[in-house]
Amino acid sequence: MARNINVIPPKKNSTAGKGKKTQRRKLRVAAYCRVSTDQEEQLLSYENQVRFYTESINSNPEYECAGIYADEGISGTNTKKREEFNRMIADCRAGKIDRIITKSISRFARNTLDCLKYVRELKALGVGIIFEKENIDTLDAKGEVLLTILSSLAQDESRNISENSTWGIRKRFEVGQHKMSTARFLGYDTNESGKLVVNKKQAKIVQRLYMEFLHGKTTDYIKRIFEREGVVNWNGSTKWQATTLASMLENEKYKGDTLLQKSYTADFLTKKRVMNEGEIQQFYIEDDHEAIIEPWIWECVQLEMERRKRYLEEHGTNSFSHNTEQNPFAAKIICGECNKVFHRKGWQSSAGETRRIWQCSERYKVKGVLGCSNRHIDEDTVRKIYFMAWNKLLECRDALLPEWKEKAQGEDLLARFRAIDFMKLTEHTQPIQELDVDLMLRTLDHIKVYESGVVVAVFLDGTEIVYKTEN
């Protein structure tokens, strides 16, 4: 039996209540504008976009302006730093926006995934996006297919822009053209052309850092000295980081040279930067600007860093003292039998008296098992040996002078520095009776203790002085 099917046409106007027509609500329309650089022509475009969409929305009787969202000088490859974009999305989620108008897909997003992600989310919320240049309305069923294609093209365009920009930068690097930021760079300012110029006040801090390090101090110790004295860093703070000081000691710019492309952008979408470990070419420019540190002194610091690294590896420890003021001999007392460092321990007598002794780190490395057989040594004995050794060196200065003078003319830069330093230190110097920590760090390499009772004080200039202690 045939069925009758009646088609009910849509009503243009719905009614409610007492037969009154419901007034159609205006669409709450927002506009999104973005420019990716702060160049003058781009800023003009930015201002024009804001003005155009404000006037366009307000002039349409069916529209109600829900806001103009505009990001200035922000890349479109990701949304993390686009505050206005994120605020707009939040307002959409809160039900404050019905439509979004934007100039083009590239203004909205150059990342295909981001573009489709937000388009689909907003579509599910009933919020459509109108891309004027491409004539796409995302609420149109055909819109997403075309949007996928065009957003991919926008992403590829962004990649090309990034590659072209990188190419241009590297071409300038090849001829020595570059601009340097000094936002977190102590010792230099930049002039109007972006070249480094010495900040004389800050340069003194840099010079002091290099000398303190060559005089035996660790970056951790220097950090505490700077903070105790209220030395001001690049941002006006008196707080310092040992890692920052270490990086300053390695920075070639302080000797007047510049290494370009120490890091690079690994992904144009995420803008993630990574250290350049040889993946791409670098450019080293000699005599690029005025030096703060003499080149040979800078090289001495690099040699000293390498020496300390070898020293720690050779003697089986990770670092020098982290509390130099209270424990200056840390990592400086070496076992003559196994070549490992001695560690400081506290021994308490039956009478309650505590004394400090130094013992080979290998002696009881495995609990309950005797390792290295070397004897311990009292800290008071260590101090006395250093006093006697240094005073003996002063006494023998005339005999040591010819060797120092020869080293001061030699090719070994670090040996040259030590020789010059020891000649200055020992001139008109009186014997010591108390421990001067800074002098000890500046002069003593290590003290080697043997099981036989022989103790050898080895100074940084290479001088060795031997003593025999009582067993």
The whole-angstrom separation of Cα 118 and Cα 136 is 15
pLDDT at 39: 47
DSSP, collapsed to helix, strand or coil, labels residue 242 as helix
Domain stops at, among 136, 158, 180: 158
pLDDT at 43: 46
Residue 178 belongs to some domain of the structure: no
pLDDT at 38: 47
Distances (CA, A) of 262 to 178, 278, 282: 13, 9, 7
Residue type, 237: S
Residue 326 belongs to some domain of the structure: no
Q: Helix 112-124 vs helix 143-174: angle between axes, to the nearest 10 degrees?
A: 150
Structural domain count, the chain: 3
Residue 313 belongs to some domain of the structure: no
Residue 273 belongs to some domain of the structure: yes
Are residues 454 and 370 located together in one domain of the fold?
Answer: yes
Domain stops at, among 138, 158, 178: 158
Are residues 360 and 269 located together in one domain of the fold?
Answer: no
The whole-angstrom separation of Cα 386 and Cα 340 is 20
Are residues 102 and 207 located together in one domain of the fold?
Answer: no
Q: Do the beta carbons of residue 72 and residue 43 sit within 8 Å?
A: yes
Are residues 272 and 200 located together in one domain of the fold?
Answer: yes
Please classify residue 118 by burial: count the beta carbons closer than 10 Å to its beta carbon, then call 0-12 exposed, 13-18 middle and 19+ buried.
buried
Instruction: Read off the DSSP letter of residue 316.
Output: T
Are residues 233 and 348 located together in one domain of the fold?
Answer: no
Are residues 226 and 280 located together in one domain of the fold?
Answer: yes
Q: Do the beta carbons of residue 173 and residue 264 sit within 8 Å?
A: no
* H or E segment to which residue 243 belongs: helix 242-250
Residue 103 belongs to some domain of the structure: yes
Residue 91 belongs to some domain of the structure: yes
Query: Quick one: how far is CA 240 from the chain centroid?
Result: 13
Closest residue by Cα to residue 100 from 88, 111, 90, 112: 88
Are residues 372 and 267 located together in one domain of the fold?
Answer: no
Instruction: Read off the DSSP letter of residue 255.
Output: G
> What tokens were used for 149?
């294609």
The whole-angstrom separation of Cα 123 and Cα 51 is 27
pLDDT at 105: 75
pLDDT at 181: 55
pLDDT per residue as tens, the chain (471 positions): 567 777 777 765 544 444 444 567 889 999 998 776 544 444 456 677 788 888 888 889 899 999 889 887 665 445 667 888 899 999 999 999 999 998 887 777 656 667 778 888 888 898 988 888 878 888 876 666 666 665 555 555 555 555 555 544 454 554 445 555 556 789 998 888 778 899 999 999 999 999 999 999 999 999 999 999 999 998 889 999 999 999 999 999 999 888 776 554 544 444 556 565 555 566 677 888 899 999 999 999 999 999 999 999 999 998 887 788 889 999 999 999 999 999 998 877 666 778 889 999 888 777 766 789 898 999 999 999 999 999 999 999 999 999 999 999 999 999 999 999 999 999 988 999 999 999 999 999 999 999 999 999 999 999 999 998 875
Helices (H), 325-412: 379-395, 397-408
Domain stops at, among 306, 324, 353: 306
Domain harbouring 33, CATH code = 3.40.50.1390
Q: Do the beta carbons of residue 429 and residue 414 sit within 8 Å?
A: no
Distances (CA, A) of 334 to 81, 279, 339, 346, 455: 54, 41, 6, 18, 10
Are residues 150 and 200 located together in one domain of the fold?
Answer: no
Are residues 224 and 103 located together in one domain of the fold?
Answer: no
pLDDT at 23: 61
* Residue 139: domain span: 23-158
The whole-angstrom separation of Cα 100 and Cα 66 is 9
- The number of beta carbons lying within 10 Å of the beta carbon of residue 385 is 19
Which residues contact residue 362 at a Cβ distance below 8 angstroms, ignoring those fewer than 6 apart?
316, 335, 338, 340, 371, 372
Residue 3 belongs to some domain of the structure: no
The whole-angstrom separation of Cα 233 and Cα 33 is 39
**CA end-to-end distance (rounded Å), the chain:** 122
Are residues 103 and 144 located together in one domain of the fold?
Answer: yes
Are residues 58 and 134 located together in one domain of the fold?
Answer: yes
Backbone angles phi, psi at 230, to 5 degrees: 75, 30
CA 58, 60, 66, 69 torsion-angle sign: negative
Residue 222 belongs to some domain of the structure: yes
> What tokens were used for 410?
């030699």
DSSP, collapsed to helix, strand or coil, labels residue 283 as strand
DSSP, collapsed to helix, strand or coil, labels residue 339 as coil
Distances (CA, A) of 28 to 57, 61, 256, 323: 9, 11, 59, 65
pLDDT at 8: 74
Residue with tokens 């290099």: 210
Are residues 192 and 141 located together in one domain of the fold?
Answer: no
Q: Helix 219-229 vs helix 242-250: angle between axes, to the nearest 10 degrees?
A: 110
